[in-house]
Chain A
Amino acid sequence: MGENKIRVLIAKPGLDGHDRGAKVVAQALRDAGMEVIYTGLRRTPDQIVSAAVQEDVQVIGLSSLSGAHNHLFKKVAELLQEKGHEDILLIGGGIIPEKDRKQLEDVGFDRIFSPGTSTEDIVSYIKEKVNG
């Protein structure tokens, strides 16, 4: 009985207005059978975490092209830990230099995808991590 749909929250923290990438990923995840809660542009880390808790998602995907990822992404990771939601898979993407990627993975991100990643890779990564 019943099926466990994968629910993903896709959000863009911060001030950049470029959401093409986030939308492409959202569509790819939908096409892979997932339910994607798309929250749009310019969200604060507080809003993102609060929405993720109410929507009970297994995955949060953040996108940033503004360069402010170190601060904003980190804040999301901290809030999740503070509230006891380390079980949520936390991933990110956008224009993020390699040294920052490593840093973010150290503060709680499961994976930061680099530009040029295929959507299939993101889909299979999520499926593998969530369904085990």
Chain B
Amino acid sequence: MGNQVNELARGIIAGEEKALAKGLTFIENRKSGYRELLDSIYPEVRSCPIWGLTGAPGVGKSTITNYLVDSLANRSERIGVIAVDPTSPFSGGAILGDRVRMMDLAGREGIFIRSMASRGALGGLSPAIMDAVSLYQAFGVDRILVETVGVGQSETDIVSLADTVAVIMMPGTGDDVQTIKAGLLEIGDIFAVNKADLEGAETLAGLLQSMLSSRNGDEKWVPPVIKLVASQGQNLDTLLEKFLDHQKSLEKSGQKEKKEKMRNEMALKMHLQARFQDLYLGPLLGTEDWEKAIKSINRREKSPAYWAEKLISGSD
């Protein structure tokens, strides 16, 4: 097993595609030895800009990602893409369909795309996704694009993961209140209203603009609102420019290091949570004490809060 890990690490660092593909599976499955794999590649991790795209299903994220990757690859950049789709909580399976809109990129030199299911993560990004970023950075890419479905926790997770976050919206998906309550306003560095040829695009863009103007007054970067028709390629070049502008602004203001620190903290936190779960929650499930607690809660003798404390402290 040690050999397998060494071989994978060597291949990833040497920039071998097959090793990266196998390495990603290794960390995703949390195979024994995955920590050693991360350890051996870690000194070779080279930081690079990480861009995030988030938004509800069907707003056009993959079409936009496809354009961005295509343009950047044309500038001879090496690009890594991570496309995250939700795991079904019922079967544990997933349909990962982001490649449908990105198939022209398949087989092109310097582009690596990996579809990942959210798996065990409670609505957010799984720690494996943070680790996948590290593998890409050891493999050697110039830029990483992460695409996530913006529902629930993953929205806030993407802020910790990406340097620049674009929130993609479209008209006709709900009233003004939906736009505010979704929590999307706080996380975007760039806002794109896609399918701008549909009715309501003006209104949505105007609303976003007015709400963003009242967001944190002391920010140096004012999030732009761009109208797109991604399927026709309309205004996608402007979106790319805004991404590059934001990156420059981060570098200038020294925010880039802050972002990196945030990302590392998040990765450590996610790994700790997973370990706590393995160490403490896992062994408790189904034990005698566990059953006793459930019975007591069912009979309304004691609350779940009481039992959580009790089970942690170990005494009865």
Contact = CB atoms under 8 A, between A and B. Distances in A.
A27 B103 contact: no
Contact of A1 (B17, B21, B30, B91): B30
A121 B227 CA distance: 48
B279 to A, nearest CB: 12
Interface in A48-85: 48-51, 53-56
Given A35-B117, A40-B100, A56-B24, A50 B107 contact: yes
Contacts of B87: 35
Interface residues of A, number: 31
The main secondary structure of chain B at its interface with chain A is: mixed
B62 to A, nearest CB: 11
B107 A37 contact: no
B29 A38 contact: no
Interface in B81-139: 87-88, 91-97, 99-100, 103, 106-107, 112-115, 117, 119
- Interface size class of chain B, counting residues whose CB lies under 8 Å from the partner chain: 20 to 34
B258 interface: no
B114 A38 contact: no
A30 interface: yes
Given A51-B113, A54-B112, A55-B21, A33 B100 contact: no
A15 interface: no
Contact of B17 (A37, A47, A54): A54
Interface of A: 1-5, 7, 26-27, 29-40, 43, 46-51, 53-56
